[in-house]
Amino acid sequence: MKTQVIEDLPLITLIGPPNSGKTTLFNYLSGKNYKTVNYPGATVEYSISKIQKKFNFEANILDSPGIISLVPNSPDEKISIDSLYSHPRYGIPDLVIITIDSSQLSRHLLLAKQLIDSSFNVLIALTMVDLLQRKGFEISAANLKDELNCDVIIIDGRTGNGVDDLVKAIDKNLKNLQAQEKNHPNQIHSNFNVNYLLNSFTEFEQIEKRVTSQIQHSNRKINLNKANRQLKVLNNDLSQNKNSQLDITTLKIDKILLHKVWGIIIFFLVMAITFTSIFWFAQPIMNIIDSSFGFLSFESHELLGNNWFSDFIANGIISGTGAVLVFVPQILILFLILGLLEDTGYLARGAMLIDKPLSKIGLNGRSFVPMLSGFACAIPAILATRTIPNKRERLLTIFIIPLMSCSARLPVYALLLAFLFPANESWIAGLGLASIYILSIISSTTIAGLVNKFRNRIINAEDTSSFILELPAYRMPKFSVVLSNSYHSAKLYFKKAGPIILVLSGIIWFLTYFPNNNPKIDSNNLSKDQITQLENSERLSHSYAADLGKFIQPVMSPIGMDWRIGVSLISAFAAREVFVSSLALIFKVTGNEHTLQTSMLHEMRKATIGNTGKYLFTPATITGLIIFFVFALQCMSTMAVSRKETGSWRIPLIQFFLFTSIAYLFTFLAVNGLRAFGIN
């Protein structure tokens, strides 16, 4: 069911700091029936929905990105805050609901106070009351209402308790606003200097004292002196602040998970499980999707006959759609795991642990998970950079992710390493594969450091980097919210990246199919499948792609290759693993899936360059090809998602030309260097 948003309805905007329960509340109010879109002219996303019909009044509800104050700390925050004062499409909100974590009251009151001082119509939703109670305190919504002069409702995001009371308060506020002239909020202008912060938080601590009280007969006692010795804090007067009463369970867990040795080991184990899950759990589903679209492609070809239209439907439309959908399982699993890690509170700890080494190359701790995910697939890895609030660091992370050796390169590496090393000594090939992954890590971090030095010319984003994050208490994740967010992330990928991938698939199909000279094949002693493979190889040899390959022959010669490898590299732009099947077509390799690689290796060892008698595939050229695939950006899906996440073609085009140039240069040096040492 598609959400219908009516623009002349009252607008309710949800605001809140990260991890304050804002999105959970949005799901209750919208019934999880919403759409995710970008602010006009920006890549910053918000969710918009019509409020559920069961609440018996009509209004639009908008869930904006999390912010900690109305003074922006990054370009993305500025877009969100400016849109709060006047959304480009929906205008000024009639009502602003701010979610406040009651266990972090003194810190979260800053945003609430700024909204009230700006003359917004504010309604406060108090969340995480259960965490506050675990610390031995309770809060009075009535007292906080008197302090701030606005309605305050306690809600429980886990159970939904209090949502009905919140809805009644929303309805009452909207009815009161109908009889009044709409407010025009005042923009907050503040340098956020030290005195301003100290005075504000002193005021908030006094408010906190007046609205919270210790639960009598609590059997939970926190040793504050012990806690203070283990944590560095800005305010030494912790005994006066109820929020400093750290949950002892969280403290005990953090002693292990934030340990300088064990913490790092556990973090890498968690990331290894995440990476393995993305690759292994998704693979069976990806195989089903791939084989299903392969079956549809074959059946449509059989049904429509042997003509250009059936080939376009089978290999252009159906295969292109399969190329879009095949990555969805990885995206779902990635966002599911990231959502669970974030909801439990561990993701913030992992970012802290890895921040220091990444800061040396201009990144911070939040970049590590997307970088690691790039070893499975660059597409979900680029989508995972949305967790990075700083624009420069997010763009820099996106920039280097294609250098991670994704799973699509594995079929290529498997073929090339099988050529280099004997089949009975697979451990040598295994060491070679490990070396390839190490090379990709070294190259990505080196290039990140170089790009960071010239960031104003390449990234073109303000450097307002900071790495300040709140460590939330550990808690059980809300699975329905995590599943919902994962589903919408996958749907967004399909809607935004899908059309671009389909168009590029159509272009590549056209280049590899036309001009169709209806090749005639001697069918004696050949099966139908073998005849089809040979027809395809003949067609590809005389296609526009082949002409393009012959056109770039002068570029291929210096690296010891010819137009046939050039065509395969062009075809691999659809997907890197296509390189293997393209070589099979060009070299007229036939056989079943069990003998295909053996036949491929046999033909590769016989192939020569023209009439020169020189072998085309040698240890030098194979090593050069491996290096080329390590660096080159040969994935239209990655470019499409990179374009979507960066908001323009500028960075994807820089990635393509820069990485391809580096790949060509290092391939040239490797091939000719090995030849100079007699390795040919």
Residues 43-57: pLDDT tens digits?
567 788 888 888 888
For 248-345, where are the alpha helices, taking DSSP H only? 248-257, 262-276, 282-304, 308-311, 319-325, 328-344
For the record, the structure tokens of 40 come out as: 């006009």
Angle at which helices 391-400 and 636-646 cross, to 10°: 170
Single out the residue of 419, 410, 407, 432 nearest to residue 599, CA to CA. 419
Which of 17-26, 192-201, 281-290, 395-404 has the largest mean confidence? 395-404
Q: pLDDT (tens digit, 9 = 90+) per residue, 216-226?
A: 654 444 444 44
Which helix (H) or strand (E) segment is 483 a member of?
Answer: helix 479-513
Query: Residue 680 CB: number of other CB atoms within 10 A?
Result: 14
Q: Residue 50 phi/psi, 5° resolution?
A: -90, 140
Which of 17-31, 110-124, 284-298, 370-384 has the largest mean confidence? 110-124
Angle at which helices 391-400 and 426-453 cross, to 10°: 150
For 231-261, where are the alpha helices, taking DSSP H only? 248-257
Asked, for residue 20, whether it belongs to a domain, the answer is yes
Asked, for residue 608, whether it belongs to a domain, the answer is no
Asked, for residue 113, whether it belongs to a domain, the answer is yes
535, 555, 585 - which closes a domain = 585
Asked, for residue 30, whether it belongs to a domain, the answer is yes
- Better-predicted residue by pLDDT, 26 or 524: 26
Q: Position of tokens 């059309």?
A: 499
Q: How many domains does the chain have?
A: 2
Which of 145-159, 237-251, 308-322 has the largest mean confidence? 145-159
pLDDT (mean) for 12-36: 80
pLDDT given for residue 664 in this prediction: 94
Residue 98 scores a pLDDT above 60: yes
Question: Are the CB atoms for 21 and 121 separated by under 8 Å?
Answer: no
Q: pLDDT (tens digit, 9 = 90+) per residue, 161-215?
A: 888 899 999 988 888 877 666 667 777 655 556 676 777 878 888 888 898 888 7
pLDDT (mean) for 596-615: 77
Ramachandran sector of residue 632 (left: φ over 0; alpha: ψ -120 to 50; beta: rest): beta
pLDDT given for residue 220 in this prediction: 44
- The DSSP call for residue 649 is S
Residue 133 scores a pLDDT above 60: yes
Q: What is the C-alpha separation between 363 and 256, in angstroms, rounded? A: 25
pLDDT given for residue 224 in this prediction: 41
Question: Structural domain of residue 35, as residue ranges?
Answer: 11-244
Share of the chain above pLDDT 90, in %: 11
Cis peptide before 515 (omega within 30 of 0): yes
For the record, the structure tokens of 318 come out as: 């159906």
pLDDT given for residue 221 in this prediction: 44
3-state secondary structure of 295: helix
Q: pLDDT (tens digit, 9 = 90+) per residue, 259-316?
A: 778 888 887 787 777 766 665 677 688 778 877 887 888 888 788 877 888 878 877 7
pLDDT given for residue 233 in this prediction: 40
Residue 3 scores a pLDDT above 60: no
Q: How far is CA 226 from CA 69, 73, 221, 231, in A?
A: 32, 34, 12, 9
Least confident of 374-383, 395-404, 420-429: 420-429
3-state secondary structure of 193: coil
pLDDT given for residue 84 in this prediction: 86
Asked, for residue 374, whether it belongs to a domain, the answer is no
Asked, for residue 37, whether it belongs to a domain, the answer is yes
Q: What is the C-alpha separation between 338 and 277, in angstroms, rounded? A: 12
228, 244, 260 - which closes a domain = 244
| pTM summary value | 0.58
For the record, the structure tokens of 385 come out as: 């950079």
Asked, for residue 156, whether it belongs to a domain, the answer is yes
> ∠ CA 164-166-167 to the nearest 5 degrees?
65
pLDDT given for residue 511 in this prediction: 78
Which of 414-423, 453-462, 518-527 has the largest mean confidence? 414-423
Q: What is the C-alpha separation between 53 and 37, in angstroms, rounded? A: 22
Single out the residue of 416, 414, 436, 680 nearest to residue 559, CA to CA. 680
Q: What is the C-alpha separation between 415 and 270, in angstroms, rounded? A: 31
Question: Are the CB atoms for 420 and 622 separated by under 8 Å?
Answer: yes
Asked, for residue 43, whether it belongs to a domain, the answer is yes
Our CA dihedral for 135, 141, 147, 149, rounded to 10 degrees, sits at 150
Q: What is the C-alpha separation between 223 and 231, in angstroms, rounded? A: 13
pLDDT (mean) for 591-607: 69
- Better-predicted residue by pLDDT, 265 or 632: 632
Cα four-point dihedral sign 567, 573, 576, 578: negative
Q: Residue 345 phi/psi, 5° resolution?
A: 100, 0
pLDDT averaged over every residue in the chain: 77
Question: Are the CB atoms for 354 and 372 separated by under 8 Å?
Answer: no
Question: Which band of pLDDT confidence, cut at 50, 70 and 90, is reported for residue 594?
Answer: very low
Q: pLDDT (tens digit, 9 = 90+) per residue, 342-359?
A: 777 777 777 677 777 777
Question: Which band of pLDDT confidence, cut at 50, 70 and 90, is reported for residue 24?
Answer: confident
pLDDT given for residue 235 in this prediction: 40
Radius of gyration of the chain (CA): 29
Please report, for the domain that includes residue 167, its CATH number.
Answer: 3.40.50.300
pLDDT (mean) for 368-372: 77
Q: What is the C-alpha separation between 175 and 395, in angstroms, rounded? A: 44
Burial-class residue 42 by CB neighbours within 10 Å (0-12, 13-18, 19+): middle
Residue 333 scores a pLDDT above 60: yes
pLDDT given for residue 336 in this prediction: 82
- Better-predicted residue by pLDDT, 581 or 109: 109
Q: Which long-range contacts (CB under 8 A, 24 or more apart) does 533-539 make?
A: 533/584, 533/585, 533/588, 533/589, 533/590, 534/588, 534/590, 536/585, 537/585, 537/586, 537/587, 537/588, 539/512, 539/513
244, 272, 302 - which closes a domain = 244
Residue 657 scores a pLDDT above 80: yes
Proportion of the chain in helix, strand, coil states, percent, rounded to 5: 60, 5, 30
Q: Which residues pair with 244 in a beta bridge?
A: none
In three-state form (DSSP H/G/I as H, E/B as E, the rest C), the secondary structure along 409-448 is: HHHHHHHHHHHHCCCCCHHHHHHHHHHHHHHHHHHHHHHH
Q: pLDDT (tens digit, 9 = 90+) per residue, 524-554?
A: 666 666 666 667 667 767 778 778 877 888 8
